[in-house]
Amino acid sequence: QLAGLAIIAFGLWLRFGGVMADFASDKKSPEYFFMGLYVLVGAGALMSTVGFFGCCGAARESQCLLGTFFACLMVIFAAEITAGVFAFIGKKAAIQEAQKIYEDTYDDYVKNPGGKVNGTIYRYHLALQCCGKDTIEQQVELPCPENIQMPKASNCLVEIQNTIDAYLHLVGIVGVAIAGTTVSKTMFSL
């Protein structure tokens, strides 16, 4: 139950807090990312419910509730494995989608430097600690953060790829840990 509540809190924090909250109000918000966060919150709610079945089944020594707990854990384990496989298979598509969103925002900024896109492009640069797509000459015209390192500064497309790679590895490690916990819970429920 506590793990489910922690996942719900983490998903809601990613969605409504921090840097991603700024992108949520923009016209070109990364909707697939937000859909993934809603799935994460739903999975946390499911985990809390399943945890409740396990606690009640153990406290009352009910074979029916423990059997329900076991069946739900097997479904969750299968879903975790499936989600992990799809996450690693779809990594390239996720990187391309994020880069396309940045390029569209960049092109909108070039067409209208004083509009609402000015704040959006700045938030991208601040979150990724980069500035521009190709060359350092572009930075003169772009709203860039002051304290970024120069090797990273010239290409946000590369920085998007590096960020997604890093976070996907972290998600994979957490997923393996959760899957291991799920297997151990399944054994204890038997």
SS3 content of the chain, % helix, strand, coil (to 5): 80, 0, 20
The string of pLDDT tens digits covering residues 1-36 is 887 888 888 878 877 775 555 555 555 555 666 677
Phi, psi values for residue 115, rounded to 5°: -80, -165
Architecture of domain 89-179: Orthogonal Bundle (1.10)
CA torsion, ordered 117, 119, 120, 123, to nearest 10 deg = 160
pTM: 0.62
Q: 10 Å Cβ neighbour count for 160? A: 24
Residue 169: the pLDDT is: 73
> Domain segments of the chain: what residues?
89-179
Judge whether residue 164 has pLDDT over 70: yes
Collapse the DSSP code of 138 into the 3-class scheme (helix H, G, I; strand E, B; otherwise coil) and give the result: helix
